[in-house]
Amino acid sequence: MESIENIQTELKKNLSEKRYLHSVGTMKMAKILANKYNVNENIAMLAGLAHDMAKEIPLEQAMEYIKQNKINIDEIEKQNTALLHAKIGAHMSKKYGFTEQMQNAIKYHTTGNPEMDELAKIIYVADKTEETRNYEEIEKIRELAMQNIDEAIIAILDHDIQKNINKKVLIHPDGVLLRNKLLLQLINNNIIF
Global pTM exceeds 0.85 = yes
pLDDT for the residue numbered 190: 85
Give the model's confidence band at 123: pLDDT under 50 very low, under 70 low, under 90 confident, else very high: very high
Neighbours of 61 (CB within 10 A): 11
Domains of the chain, with CATH numbers? Answer: 4-136 (1.10.3210.10)
Asked if residue 68 has pLDDT above 80, the reply is yes
Contact status, residue 95 vs residue 108, Cβ threshold 8 Å: no
What is the band of 192 on the pLDDT scale with cuts at 50, 70, 90?
A: low
Contacts of 143 (CB under 8 A, 6+ apart): none
Closest by CA to 7, choosing from 136, 128, 85, 98, is 98
Amino acid at 10: E
**What value does the mean pLDDT take over residues 35-50?**
98
